[in-house]
Homo-oligomer: A and B are copies of this chain.
Amino acid sequence: MENIVDFAGVIFENIEKTKPVVHNISNIVTANDCANITLACGGSPTMAQHPEEVDDITSACDGFVINLGNMEDSVVEAMLRAGKRNNAIGHPVILDPVGAGAAEKRNNVLFKLIDEIKFSVIRGNISEIKFLATGMSGAKGVDASEADKVTEKNIDYVADMAKNLSKKTGAVIAISGEIDIIADENRAYIIKNGCAMMSRVTGTGCMLSSVIGVFCAANKEHILEACVAAVSSYGYAGELAYKKTIENDGGTSSFRMYLIDYMSKMNWEIFKGGALIESR
């Protein structure tokens, strides 16, 4: 537990040293947010999505994030081509399975991606991950369902589910929500950073996937630890943003700005003062 907070010094240092270029294929709703948070946390974004250019683009990058929000046919083709290319050259590939379980067509695309690409990390809310693990979820739309929520009572059950899904897919599983769970097949970390207002801003999940993209692209040898540092620092930035929002009598849009602001100022020193991480 203390170990990983201390170890995060290396994680942050590697980001600063390498300034990784991360290719994101995102969607019309949150592409701007994903690009801005990538820059904020020390990376450089590339957002190309024409199927015929992604091979070239992605080869010059250090990592790749697939966000399933946008699912038009040519974009899915670009995801598949870029994903395979990244696998071939050994770059981390992150999957954000936006809306998993919400529509049959969407599920089919999702399973095709998981079949054909080897992911380093899959990051979703509990309803999306539950759908991947069990084929069922209680969600309406893209937000997690109340019934699926991670609580102190089901935390071990969910951690086991994440470990099993990690074993099945080979990816680190990151479940974000009030309580976050990050697991590979052997270990699970529980993170209690974050605040409720994050669910009142669109793209907070998408942005977290892009943050994970930067942390992992700069730390290919430590994917699990990079994920934990990414999720915890992002959640802590949310706490700081919420505090500033209240001080300035702001609302959800101020909060969104402060969240990106705090990620743009995040470093190991700040992180150590706020990280709430347990291992199971």
Q: A35-B29, A45-B141 are in contact. Are A103 and B57 (CB under 8 A)?
A: yes
Q: Are B265 and A257 in contact (CB under 8 A)?
A: no
Pick the contact of A39 from B72, B103, B106, B202 — CB < 8 Å?
A: B202
Pick the contact of A262 from B39, B106, B251 — CB < 8 Å?
A: B251
Tell me the bound Cα distance from A36 to B259 in angstroms. 15
List residues of chain B with CB within 8 A of the CB of A71: 48, 50, 53
- Counting every copy of the chain, the complex holds 3
Tell me the bound Cα distance from A261 to B48 in angstroms. 29
Tally of contact residues, A, Cβ under 8 A: 64
Pick the contact of A264 from B30, B45, B200 — CB < 8 Å?
A: B200
Tell me the bound Cα distance from A50 to B76 in angstroms. 11
Tell me the bound Cα distance from A250 to B240 in angstroms. 12
A33 within 8 A of B: yes
List residues of chain B with CB within 8 A of the CB of A53: 71, 102-106
Known: A39-B202, A61-B141. 7 other contacts (CB 8 A): A29-B47, A39-B252, A46-B142, A56-B105, A72-B74, A251-B264, A253-B260
Q: Taking beta carbons and an 8 Å cutoff, which residues of A are in contact with B?
A: 21, 23, 26-33, 35-36, 38-40, 44-50, 52-57, 60-61, 69-72, 74, 99, 102-106, 140-143, 200-203, 250-254, 256-265
